[in-house]
Structure 1
Amino acid sequence: MSGSPIDWLIAPFTEFVFMQRALAGAVMLSLSACPVGVFLMLRRMSLTGDAMAHAILPGAAAGFLLYGLQIVPMTIGGLIAGMVVALSAGAVARLTVQKEDASMAAFYLISLSLGVLMVSLRGSSVDLMHVLFGTVLALNNDALLLIALSSGLTLVALFAFWRVLVAECLDALFLRSVSKLGSPVHFVFLGLVVVNLVAGFQALGTLLSVGLMILPSAAARFWVNRVESMCLVSISIGLVASVSGLLLSYHASLPSGPAIILSAGAVYVASVLLAPRGVLLSRLPRTAHRTA
């Protein structure tokens, strides 16, 4: 029947090409960005990911000023800007007394204000909203190709550097004392963060692209405690959030990007409350034990 729950779930993706493209982009982003988010969380760098999301804005704005809303120039500009900010913040942290979080915050504030100013010089408020919040329902072949390339690169890099990345999360100082890969892999990892944020920027904008990276990984932390399991659970949560967010956007006529991130946020809140390592299940046995 046309009004059945199955049709409610499947029809938007079978009838409309733009929904199929949006789903493909969101799925590919979930496969790569969610595992990167796990390592960000384990490194206690979740807010660094948010800072990096803002850092790509001036590069994307420069591409917009020169070529308009074209994917390739904005992507290249965002990638360059993100790399410059990441390397600059890392250099300041290693060459001065300032910690990396403080230097990253300084650079991201400069980048955000500069990017908004650059877009405002030429574009309208609609253009600014497009850059900041993305248009996942308007993904074309070029955008999907970019997301596919970034996802493939990320998965290959994670597979190649898996042991070193896990070791650095456990004890970065020890890794640097026994291996020369510590510092290089740190910058490789920052590069992966930038690549995924730039890819996510096409679909979710600079302000929301980090949401698909952080929220599923933060939720996964309440369900499992092994890195491999966290990556798999975070990908699953990212996929569920992408599908549910797109369906919510379609049926309720809501902005697609915020709907996806809010869906991930709902899973996070549910995990905080109901997961085995969440508030209720982790504390109730202790309370019962004390009462007894």
Structure 2
Amino acid sequence: MSLWSTLVAPFSEYAFMRSALVACMALAVASGPLGTLLLLRRMGLVGDVLSHAVMPGAAIGFTLAGSSLAVLSAGGLVTGIAVVAFMILGTRFGAQREDSSLAAFYFASIGLGVLIVSLRGTNLDLMHVLLGTVLAIDVQALVLIVAVASVVVAVLALIFRPIALQSFDPAFLRTMGGSDSAYRAIFLVLVVLDLVAGFQAFGTLLAGVPLLLPAAAARCWAQRIGPLVGLSIGFGMAAGYVGLLVSYHLNVPSGPAIACAAALVYAVSALVPASRALVAAFNATRAT
């Protein structure tokens, strides 16, 4: 088996593989900077919760219009933004800590979404909502994913400086006249938009994979925000490409294959710097 048939032929011969690859690349470009900022803000759990917050709205859309892409996306967007609003209001005016509210939203979203889909759909429908179908992305879904990714990148480009500053020093942003709560709300809405796009490909269980795992891997290699974003995008693209190839050649589900590829990138990224630190410490000990 040649390198061409292994690495390139699946995408050159099959349109569904090309569509899946373009979707993964678009999601990587949008998710890279968002995931980096989420982790810099120590809000990784928030991203995971919001990925599941999309599920009840998508489930309601499914009961109303079946597999209609527009209705599923609109429902997921509405419930995702609603959870953002409740989370902000609850932590500001409520008595509960943010982590308690996030845990409640996390389990409530999963339970409610599964219940709604189960009332009308089959087990196959439930698996589609939970895990998505990367290889079944059609032109309409691809256009939606690319459009949402473009909007996210464009808005981030316009307000990246204050949002990045808020991630490091929100107090300084306030002294410069910036609205801390407004930028935080805009940022979380962008995260929801990205997760709605990711839901089309990865379902609610795995929608957070391109958002969090590549960014976590990038943090093992860089400290400055520019390299962090670049590495996060690159790792996301690599995980999507490798995962699709593994899915094609081994005939395994594409979403979980991409998730495993991203997890492998993170594992290697976490272990290599750690091993270098151990070797350096060992050499320093021998020298003394």
**TM-score, normalising length from structure 1?**
0.96
Report the secondary structure of 1:179's partner residue.
coil
Residue 190 of structure 2 corresponds to which residue in structure 1? 192
Kindly provide the amino acid, as one letter, of the partner of residue 21 in structure 2. L
Question: What are the Cα deviations for residues 75-121 of structure 1, in whole angstroms up to 9, with x where unaligned?
Answer: 00000000000110111001123222321221222122111100000
Question: What are the Cα deviations for residues 223-278 of structure 1, in whole angstroms up to 9, with x where unaligned?
Answer: 1111111010010001110000000000000100000010010010000111xxx2
The yes-or-no answer on 1:257 pairing with 2:255 is: yes
How far did residue 177 of structure 1 move? 4.0
Select the residue among 272, 276, 279 that pairs with 1:281: 276
Kindly provide the amino acid, as one letter, of the partner of residue 287 in structure 1. F
Give the Cα separation in 2 of the matches to 1:107 and 1:262: 26
CA contact (8 A) 1:59 1:78 kept: yes
Give the Cα separation in 2 of the matches to 1:282 and 1:99: 36
Gaps of 5+ in 1: none
Sequence identity percentage: 43
Summarize the alignment of residues 34-183 of structure 1 with structure 2, pairs less than 5 Å apart. 34-183=32-181
The yes-or-no answer on 1:219 pairing with 2:217 is: yes
Residue 265 of structure 2 corresponds to which residue in structure 1? 267
Residue 230 of structure 2 corresponds to which residue in structure 1? 232
Question: What are the Cα deviations for residues 15-35 of structure 1, in whole angstroms up to 9, with x where unaligned?
Answer: 111101101111100110121
Give the Cα separation in 2 of the matches to 1:264 and 1:220: 11
Give the Cα separation in 1 of the matches to 2:213 and 2:135: 21
Kindly provide the amino acid, as one letter, of the partner of residue 151 in structure 2. L
How far did residue 283 of structure 1 move? 2.9
Kindly provide the amino acid, as one letter, of the partner of residue 289 in structure 1. A
Give the Cα separation in 2 of the matches to 1:243 and 1:234: 14
CA contact (8 A) 1:164 1:181 kept: no
How far did residue 284 of structure 1 move? 1.9
Bigger shift: residues 177-186 or 45-54: 177-186
Report the secondary structure of 1:56's partner residue.
helix
Kindly provide the amino acid, as one letter, of the partner of residue 249 in structure 2. H
Give the Cα separation in 2 of the matches to 1:40 and 1:84: 19
**TM-score, normalising length from structure 2?**
0.97
Give the Cα separation in 2 of the matches to 1:31 and 1:265: 18
Q: 1:122 to 1:109 in 2, by over 3 A?
A: same
Residue 24 of structure 2 corresponds to which residue in structure 1? 26
Runs of 4+ in 1 over 4 A off after TM superposition: none
Give the Cα separation in 2 of the matches to 1:98 and 1:290: 48
How far did residue 144 of structure 1 move? 0.8
Kindly provide the amino acid, as one letter, of the partner of residue 291 in structure 1. R
Report the secondary structure of 2:237's partner residue.
helix
Give the Cα separation in 1 of the matches to 2:253 and 2:171: 44
CA contact (8 A) 1:12 1:19 kept: yes
Select the residue among 264, 282, 291 that pairs with 2:286: 291
Give the Cα separation in 2 of the matches to 1:67 and 1:287: 62
Gaps of 5+ in 2: none
Report the secondary structure of 2:210's partner residue.
helix
CA contact (8 A) 1:164 1:182 kept: no
CA contact (8 A) 1:59 1:77 kept: yes
Report the secondary structure of 2:255's partner residue.
helix
How many residue pairs were aligned? 287
